[in-house]
């Protein structure tokens, strides 16, 4: 994210519906990431407002990381990588072909709350397989400041890399501990090798990058 290219805009507040509901689901090492697919018994987590064209419903979230602390995030800020990044993938309710991804950077710290449930079971999916996961709180994975984010139209970072995605990247990161990051770095891909799963940073080309503040 090249901060010199940004256009500043203000939009309505970004609303997270049912992000405070306790969820359970399935966590899987699929050979190229750790992905969680929540099961919804009541209201599904949704996002709306914040300049979106429709309401979007969460379908899965997954993680990207590297083997060293200066790499791992799929986006860079002024050329610098964070050690990990979370992508919460949402599908449009009106037009399901449209995808909205919320991106959250991770920084190293002492608070293990954000990824406590996921990291409790990572040792059971060192090789590609799935495992039930309980008591997920999505709210814990979002920064406290949700009024400031970068926004651009782009593609998914995993195949088929479709160009139908509204990217929303929070400016404030969330904390991951060194021991939690070590658990991700211990995971294997389908060939048995240690997994690192961030792709090289893609150019924005003519896409507009916005720094968005909510009213």
Of the candidate ranges 33-37, 40-44, 151-155, 160-164, the one whose mean pLDDT is the lowest:
160-164
Query: Which tens digit of pLDDT belongs to each residue from 27-41?
Result: 999 998 999 999 987
Per-residue pLDDT at 22: 92
Query: Which tens digit of pLDDT belongs to each residue from 122-138?
Result: 999 999 999 999 999 99
Domains located in the chain, CATH noted: 3-214 (3.10.200.10)
* Catalytically annotated residues: 32
Instruction: Find out whether 149 and 171 touch, Cβ atoms under 8 Å.
Output: yes
């Amino acid at each position: 994210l090249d901060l010199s290219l940004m256009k500043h805009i203000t939009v309505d507040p970004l609303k997270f519906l049912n992000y405070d509901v306790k969820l359970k689901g399935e966590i899987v090492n699929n050979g190229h990431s750790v992905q969680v697919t929540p099961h919804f018994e009541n209201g599904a987590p949704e996002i709306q407002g914040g300049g979106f064209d429709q309401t979007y419903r969460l379908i899965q979230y997954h993680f990207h990381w590297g083997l060293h602390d200066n790499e791992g995030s799929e986006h860079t800020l002024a050329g610098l990588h964070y050690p990990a990044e979370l992508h919460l993938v949402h599908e449009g309710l009106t037009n399901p072909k449209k995808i909205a991804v919320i991106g959250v950077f991770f920084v190293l710290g002492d608070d293990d709350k954000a990824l406590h449930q996921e990291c409790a079971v990572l040792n059971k999916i060192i090789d590609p397989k799935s495992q039930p996961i309980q008591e997920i709180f999505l709210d814990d994975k979002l920064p406290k400041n949700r009024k400031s984010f970068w926004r651009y139209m782009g593609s998914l970072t995993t195949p088929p890399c479709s160009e139908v995605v509204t990217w929303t990247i929070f400016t404030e990161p969330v904390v991951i501990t060194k021991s939690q990051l070590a658990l991700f770095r211990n995971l294997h891909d389908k060939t048995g090798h240690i997994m690192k799963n961030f792709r090289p940073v893609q150019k924005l080309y003519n896409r507009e990058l916005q720094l968005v503040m909510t009213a």
